[in-house]
Amino acid sequence: MPQIAQTIDDALAPVTDGCLLVVPREVSGVPMAATRALVRRHVKNLHLVALPTSSLQADLLIGAGCVATLETSAVSLGEFGPAPRFSAAVTGGTIRMMDATCPALHAALQATEKGVPFMPLRGLIGSDILKYRSDWKVIDSPFGNDDPIVLLPAIRPDVALFHAPMADRDGNVWIGRQRELATMAHAARKTVATVETIVDNDLLADPVTAAGTLPGFYVDAVAVAPNGAWPLPLPDHYAADAAHLAEYARLAATAEGFKNYLDRYVHEKRAV
């Protein structure tokens, strides 16, 4: 049975230096409270897989020096502009960048989910990205001549980490329509979820919630984190904090401004 952790830090115990960590895109439940906790723990050398894109979360972890390798198809602050710490790290060569595409990342996670060592994908043929991914192999289809196909190695995360609206006391987590969270949990060795609240009813026993519930046997730890996606949105529950994201974009444009942001909003050394 999953552990209902006393604190976020307790739940994050499986996220150790050097682990392969998979996290979801902005609209799927980004665990920002947990991300700030990881920064405070000074976790290092993460291989971060953002499925399939990221925004503030990846930028924050990169700027704080937590990431050695990033595997994703995009990092951007959207309407607030480029992700400044990500851009600085790529141009400065301080992280290893593994460029991917959205379908490729989903396919690689699905390979592990299905228990196979690789997944074929056709849409990459003709793309320059193949020049930069020596681990992606182009072969002729065994079922036809002159029919190339790309083989993607399965991605097996050490930990999947996400935020969801609720869990019950047995550790079943309601993910609603965000089915990629289930793929992440199926593929990962361990899964950690933060949630807005713990409910007393069995989410799998209720036909209204059962279809959108990730069973607890895929989950290792759950921690309560009210407003845990802030300043990013939690779909159908609260919107992004646009003013805060604009402030982040302004501060994180420089290394000194980013340090000030960490002091104010992560390490909580706020001016009185």
- What is the tens place of the pLDDT at every residue in 7-40? 999 999 999 999 999 999 999 999 999 999 999 9
Per-residue confidence (pLDDT) for residue 125, from 0 to 100: 93
Per-residue confidence (pLDDT) for residue 1, from 0 to 100: 66
Sign of the dihedral defined by the CA atoms of residues 108, 109, 112, 116, in that order: negative
Number of residues that this document lists for the chain: 272
Sign of the dihedral defined by the CA atoms of residues 83, 53, 242, 270, in that order: negative
Q: Considering the chain, tell me which residue range(s) the CATH 3.40.1080.10 domain(s) occupy.
A: 3-102+156-169+177-266
Report the alpha-carbon distance of residue 21 to residue 14 in Å, rounded.
Answer: 10
Mean pLDDT value across the chain: 96
pLDDT in tens, the chain (272 residues): 677 878 999 999 999 999 999 999 999 999 999 999 999 999 999 999 999 999 999 999 999 999 999 999 999 999 999 999 999 999 999 999 999 999 999 999 999 999 999 999 999 999 999 999 999 999 999 887 788 999 999 999 999 999 999 999 999 999 999 999 999 999 999 999 999 999 999 999 999 999 999 999 999 999 999 999 999 999 999 999 999 999 999 999 999 999 999 999 999 755 43
Write the class of the CATH domain 3-102+156-169+177-266: alpha beta
How does pLDDT run across 59-98, given as a tens digit for each residue?
Answer: 999 999 999 999 999 999 999 999 999 999 999 999 999 9
| Cα R_g (the chain), whole angstroms | 19
Report CA-CA distances (Å) from 179 to 68, 83, 121.
Answer: 28, 26, 20
Report CA-CA distances (Å) from 85 to 177, 199, 263, 268.
Answer: 31, 38, 16, 20
The dihedrals phi and psi of 76, each to the nearest 5 degrees, come to -155, 150
Report the alpha-carbon distance of residue 100 to residue 138 in Å, rounded.
Answer: 15
Per-residue confidence (pLDDT) for residue 272, from 0 to 100: 35
